[in-house]
Amino acid sequence: MPPPTPPLARQLRDATREAHRALDHHPALQRLLAARLTREDYAASLLALYPAHAALETAVCEEIERLGLGLEMPRRLARLADDLGSLGLTPQAAAVNALYPPGSVATLVGRLYVLEGSRLGGRVIAERLRRTLGPEVPHAFFSLDMAPGEWLRRLAELEALCPHDDRDAAEAGAHEAFARFRYHLDTRFQLLQPHG
């Protein structure tokens, strides 16, 4: 029997359920699961993902360092850039004024919950990409899966970092991460769509 989900993780999951669902159903992400996905559509989705992921991963890593926390943080941004490079594309990061402001440890906990949670669906997307576009399609970004038990270990780390009194701030950090990720994704995805 697996260990129970820590209370903070349950709170964050429940509080962000709608934001998470809305992001999962974003056209840039939904097209990755389409049976008729083309390499061009895949490339456009990766280009849209890059600034959104770059802003969040950069903010989380900088906050971990600024706050002096000893958290190990698997980075995926270089993998996303490599996938784009393999497709002959150059990624564009988000504008500096659209990045995340410094926050508290609790705010970081909420952001980290969103960032690390994004790895969970990667395996499903990677498998779908291999089926629709073939095994040679570059998909390193989606292939950095979690080892067995890694998600629960991460949740336990977050629980330890965030006392009960700070959980509302963690919730706010998670909401902020979902909202900013969606904003970056919307902005870039709209720019990539044909106008006519």
C-alpha dist (Å) from residue 11 to 2, 89, 93, 155, 175: 19, 39, 31, 12, 12
The percentage of the chain sitting over the pLDDT mark of 70, rounded to a whole number, equals 93
Domain ranges, residue 83:
7-190
Structure tokens at 44: 């456009």
Within-domain flag for 2: no
Within-domain flag for 28: yes
pLDDT tens digit sequence for 105-117:
999 999 999 999 9
Q: Which amino acid is at 104?
A: S
Name the band, by pLDDT with cuts 50, 70 and 90, for residue 190: confident
Rounded mean pLDDT, 164-171: 94
pLDDT of residue 55: 93
Within-domain flag for 119: yes
pLDDT tens digit sequence for 10-69:
999 999 999 999 999 999 999 999 999 999 999 999 999 999 999 999 999 999 999 999
Rounded mean pLDDT, 156-178: 94
Alpha-carbon gap, residue 196 to 127, rounded angstroms: 34
Within-domain flag for 167: yes
pLDDT of residue 143: 93
Report the number of distinct structural domains present in the chain: 1
Within-domain flag for 89: yes
Alpha-carbon gap, residue 188 to 45, rounded angstroms: 9
Is the pLDDT assigned to residue 2 strictly greater than 70? no
Alpha-carbon gap, residue 191 to 196, rounded angstroms: 13
Contact 56, 111 (CB under 8 A): yes
Other CB atoms closer than 10 Å to residue 105's CB: what's the count?
19
Can you give the CATH number for the domain in which 66 is found?
A: 1.20.910.10
Alpha-carbon gap, residue 64 to 68, rounded angstroms: 6
Task: Show contacts of 68-73: CB within 8 Å, 24+ apart.
Answer: 69/105, 69/108, 69/161, 71/112, 71/157, 73/112
Within-domain flag for 128: yes
Is the pLDDT assigned to residue 196 strictly greater than 50? no
Within-domain flag for 195: no
**If DSSP codes are grouped into helix, strand and coil, which group holds residue 25?**
coil
- With left for phi above 0 and alpha for psi between -120 and 50, is residue 193 left, alpha or beta? beta
Rounded mean pLDDT, 92-97: 66
Other CB atoms closer than 10 Å to residue 145's CB: what's the count?
13
Which residue in 45, 9, 1, 7 sits closest to 151, CA to CA? 9
Within-domain flag for 1: no
Which residue in 128, 127, 109, 120 sits closest to 151, CA to CA? 120
pLDDT of residue 96: 55
Which residue in 151, 147, 140, 142 sits closest to 112, CA to CA? 151
